[in-house]
Amino acid sequence: MQRLRYAYRFIKSCFSQAIKEPRLRKPWFNLWMGGISLTIVWLIPLGAVIVLIGLDPLGMTLIGLLSILLLVSLLVWGEINALDTCRVFDAQLRGDQDPGRAGTEDRKQDFSHWKDAALWLVSLPGLKLRRLLTRVFRSKTEDSLVWLEAAYLMLPVISLEDHSLVEATGRIKHILQENLLRFNQGFFAVNTLAGIIQGILVVSGALLGFWAGFSIADPVTSSVLSLLFAAAIGVFLGSILALLGIFFSSFNRACYYTTLYNYALSVEAASLSGNTDQRTPPAILSQVLRKTTPN
């Protein structure tokens, strides 16, 4: 329970900073506008299925597949926006350490690494499964995927060091080899809490969307126009709830992982300079542990 309390305090601190800092709210707008646009785009093939095939078993299967693809595209869009959140929150953290630097990183949003973010999202489950199977069936084999223990640094490294996915993987391996991680990311259960809330909202959105769609139009007796209207309402309701969960998760995870990345950088700088005074955690971690909220 203490880990969840820390997560709650950290998330509360992030939203408090976002309320005061307009730059932190810019990725929110992009996420919502892009998410709504993606929903509209996916409505086109969904409507085509209803008009051309109808709601027979094949049609319902295709509608389900399109709904899954819509959800995946929203998740990918959330990760792409998380890259910008990492950049802005990093500037905020360094501005807290040196107020004179606050606002110096107010650049336009950069989508140049969207492919890396998308590929990372879809490949991570497979990498974790591969590592699990290797550890179960080849327990004596050297774990080549041990770097996944620090995989949470991927988005900050891609965003802040301008790396490709392959380059970022090498950088994370280097961070582990140099023992630069001095804070267990599981100590604050931000990822767990964010994942739970995202999962609840995504499932709730799916249920609400199906309920609304079938309530508005009977699949057997309704006209094609009624079915199209019902599908549009159901998809939009489901997407809004899903986007709410994705927004909550991607924003808070990006802030948390950027904080831990900053801590690793301070440890690296201290190791290179020999000055252990540089090896200090970002203020937000200490403030959460002291049950205070950052100014």
Domain membership of residue 127 as a residue range: 2-289
What is the model's pLDDT at position 141?
Answer: 65
What is the model's pLDDT at position 102?
Answer: 42
Contact (CB, 8 A) for 58 and 122: no
- Residue 244 falls within a domain, yes or no? yes
Distance CA(263)–CA(247), nearest Å, equals: 24
What is the model's pLDDT at position 106?
Answer: 47
The one-letter amino acid code at 209 reads G
Q: How far is CA 228 from CA 28, 41, 60, 73, in A?
A: 30, 14, 14, 22
Angle at 285 between CA 1 and CA 283, to 5 degrees: 160
pTM: 0.87
- Residue 295 falls within a domain, yes or no? no
Q: Which two tokens stand for residue 218?
A: 């009977």
- Residue 294 falls within a domain, yes or no? no
Angle at 34 between CA 22 and CA 150, to 5 degrees: 75
- Residue 212 falls within a domain, yes or no? yes
- Residue 67 falls within a domain, yes or no? yes
- Residue 198 falls within a domain, yes or no? yes
- Residue 78 falls within a domain, yes or no? yes
- Residue 253 falls within a domain, yes or no? yes
Mean pLDDT in consecutive groups of 10 residues from the start of the chain, 295 residues: 89 91 88 94 94 89 94 95 93 66 48 88 90 77 80 94 93 91 88 95 94 87 89 94 96 95 90 71 84 50
Contact (CB, 8 A) for 293 and 16: yes
Look at the chain and report how many structural domains it folds into.
1
What is the model's pLDDT at position 110?
Answer: 62
